[in-house]
């Protein structure tokens, strides 16, 4: 299905061929109705999943911020391949409506670009979708990746896939949450690899006493949002994500930020890795690493010098006391690793 929002669309004349197209049409009926709000379901990645109401006017403000930042204009093409139950999919719809884009509908899947054979101006995807679409990424001019952090190994795979193509593709990692209506900042990861996220115009940030991010974005949310995200501020418009405060591991009095260690290792190891703190009588929390993949001699030999380098870069107390291997990590519907469930397994 294709929806050209630069033209007058008669919703009643649309005939859905898939369940996803039915959901898209249902969203359009809701959006163009007299109601002032839209129901949004959170993913549950940072708490219990919930449903809340968002004013359409705030969603329009968010859409304008993204479209302005990316330079999208009327008549550009876009592809939606994210569930419309969540804010990520809903906002793709609103951006297309707000900027009068021509929208192509593709049912959400792990390989949403498998049938793509034409150029598209804009698409939002999850890291898993990008990883499974490397051979088709060159068809899309501007991609934003959200729902989970983009791993170092995926960044390298993107660079390898695109560096020899004649197409110009720009890819960004997003920072945001359901309460900020998708995202409030972007960080380019290809062709330039940026270290800091850049805020949208109209968004203000600061740090609380824990060094966690506080967000003031009145066009998106009337409340000042207090996050549990530990960040480093470069200036009033740029910041670096360090990790989640609630993921901090206190081992023998040493505060360890697992995301920092994971970032370090993922630059050298293609497998996913998660650091956890297990209850321990001696340390309080014992630092352990869990590697996604089958335990093999080859993988262990790869890991050994990396852990030695980890000790030299940080301290010997940042080296895991134990390393576990798991064939497949539990994940949330949006593709994020489910740390809570992973912790219960050990």
The answer to whether 153 and 126 are in contact (CB under 8 A) is no
State residue 177's pLDDT score.
Answer: 87
The domain boundary, picked from 201, 223, 240, lies at 201
C-alpha to C-alpha distance for 167 and 172, rounded to whole angstroms:
16
Same structural domain for residues 124 and 272? no
Total domains, the chain: 2
Answer whether residue 23 is part of any domain: yes
Whether pLDDT at 269 is above 60: yes
Whether pLDDT at 295 is above 80: yes
More confident residue, 42 or 161: 161
C-alpha to C-alpha distance for 251 and 265, rounded to whole angstroms:
20
Give all strands (DSSP E) within the chain, no chain letters: 2-4, 37-41, 51-55, 77-80, 102-105, 120-125, 140-145, 170-175, 185-190, 197-199, 204-207, 212-216, 225-233, 238-244, 249-251, 254-256, 273-280, 284-292, 322-326
C-alpha to C-alpha distance for 214 and 292, rounded to whole angstroms:
33
Whether pLDDT at 51 is above 90: no
Neighbours of 74 (CB within 10 A): 11
Answer whether residue 190 is part of any domain: yes
Same structural domain for residues 138 and 282? no
Whether pLDDT at 266 is above 60: yes
Whether pLDDT at 214 is above 60: yes
Same structural domain for residues 275 and 156? no
Tell me what the mean pLDDT of segment 34-49 comes to.
Answer: 75
Same structural domain for residues 255 and 331? yes
The domain boundary, picked from 171, 186, 201, lies at 201
Phi, psi for 35 (deg, rounded to 5):
-65, 150
- The SS3 call for residue 287 is strand
Whether pLDDT at 46 is above 60: no
Cis status of the peptide bond prior to 9, with omega within 30 of 0: no
Same structural domain for residues 76 and 140? yes
Tell me what the mean pLDDT of segment 30-58 comes to.
Answer: 82
Please state, in angstroms and as integers, the Cα–Cα distance from residue 107 to each residue in 64, 90, 104, 157, following that order. 25, 14, 10, 24
Same structural domain for residues 168 and 290? no
Strand partners, 79: 104, 123
Distance of CA 128 to the CA centre of its chain: 10
C-alpha to C-alpha distance for 155 and 192, rounded to whole angstroms:
11
State residue 179's pLDDT score.
Answer: 86
State residue 49's pLDDT score.
Answer: 65
State residue 48's pLDDT score.
Answer: 60
- Report pTM: 0.84
Q: What is the CATH number of the domain that holds 272?
A: 3.30.300.30
Answer whether residue 229 is part of any domain: no
Same structural domain for residues 197 and 258? no
- pLDDT tens track for 64-111: 999 999 999 999 999 999 999 889 999 999 999 999 999 999 999 999
Residues in the chain: 346
- pLDDT tens track for 297-345: 999 999 999 999 999 999 999 999 999 999 999 987 666 788 999 999 9
- pLDDT tens track for 134-156: 999 999 999 999 988 888 888 99
Please state, in angstroms and as integers, the Cα–Cα distance from residue 203 to each residue in 56, 95, 213, 237, following that order. 18, 18, 12, 8
Whether pLDDT at 5 is above 80: yes
C-alpha to C-alpha distance for 13 and 337, rounded to whole angstroms:
41
Q: Return the closest-CA partner of residue 236 out of 209, 259, 216, 210.
A: 216
> What percent of the chain has a predicted confidence (pLDDT) above 70?
97
Print the domain residue range for 327.
Answer: 248-345
State residue 166's pLDDT score.
Answer: 82
State residue 178's pLDDT score.
Answer: 82
State residue 165's pLDDT score.
Answer: 84
Q: What is the CATH number of the domain that holds 181?
A: 3.40.50.12780
Answer whether residue 236 is part of any domain: no
- pLDDT tens track for 219-251: 999 999 999 999 999 999 999 999 899 899 999
Neighbours of 322 (CB within 10 A): 12
Answer whether residue 231 is part of any domain: no
The average confidence (pLDDT) of the chain is 93
State residue 44's pLDDT score.
Answer: 56
Answer whether residue 94 is part of any domain: yes
The domain boundary, picked from 169, 201, 233, lies at 201
> What percent of the chain has a predicted confidence (pLDDT) above 90?
80
Instruction: Give 3-state DSSP helix, strand, coil % of the chain, rounded to 5.
Output: 30, 30, 40
Whether pLDDT at 171 is above 80: yes
């Amino acid at each position: 299905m294709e929806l050209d929002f630069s033209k007058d669309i008669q919703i009643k004349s649309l005939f859905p061929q898939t369940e996803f197209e039915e959901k898209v049409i249902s969203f359009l009926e809701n959006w163009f109705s007299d109601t002032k709000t839209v129901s949004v379901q959170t993913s549950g990645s940072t708490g219990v999943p919930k449903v809340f109401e968002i004013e359409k006017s705030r969603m329009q403000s968010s859409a304008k911020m993204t479209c302005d930042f990316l330079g999208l204009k009327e008549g550009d093409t876009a592809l939606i391949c994210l569930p419309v139950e969540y804010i990520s999919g809903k906002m793709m719809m609103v951006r297309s409506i707000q900027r009068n884009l021509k929208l192509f509908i593709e049912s959400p899947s792990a390989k949403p670009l498998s049938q793509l054979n034409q150029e598209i101006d804009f698409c939002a995807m999850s890291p898993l979708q990008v990883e499974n679409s490397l051979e088709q990424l060159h068809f899309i001019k501007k991609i934003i990746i959200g729902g989970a952090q983009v791993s170092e190994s995926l960044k390298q795979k993107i660079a390898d896939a695109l560096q020899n193509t004649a197409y110009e593709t720009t890819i960004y990692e997003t920072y945001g949450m359901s309460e900020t209506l998708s995202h409030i900042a972007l960080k380019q990861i290809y062709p330039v690899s940026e270290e800091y996220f850049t805020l949208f115009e109209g968004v203000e940030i600061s740090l609380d006493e824990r060094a966690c991010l506080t967000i003031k974005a009145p066009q998106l949310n009337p409340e000042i949002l207090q996050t549990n995200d530990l960040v480093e501020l470069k200036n009033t418009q740029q910041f670096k994500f360090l990790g989640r405060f609630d993921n901090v591991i206190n081992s023998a009095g040493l505060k360890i930020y697992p995301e920092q260690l994971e970032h370090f290792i993922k630059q050298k190891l293609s497998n996913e890795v998660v650091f956890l703190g297990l209850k321990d009588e001696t340390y309080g929390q014992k630092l352990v690493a869990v590697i996604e993949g089958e335990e093999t001699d080859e993988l262990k030999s790869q890991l050994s010098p990396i852990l030695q380098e980890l000790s030299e870069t940080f301290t010997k107390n940042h080296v895991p006391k134990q390393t576990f291997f798991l064939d497949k990590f539990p994940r949330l519907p949006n593709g994020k690793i489910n740390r809570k469930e992973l912790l219960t397994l050990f």
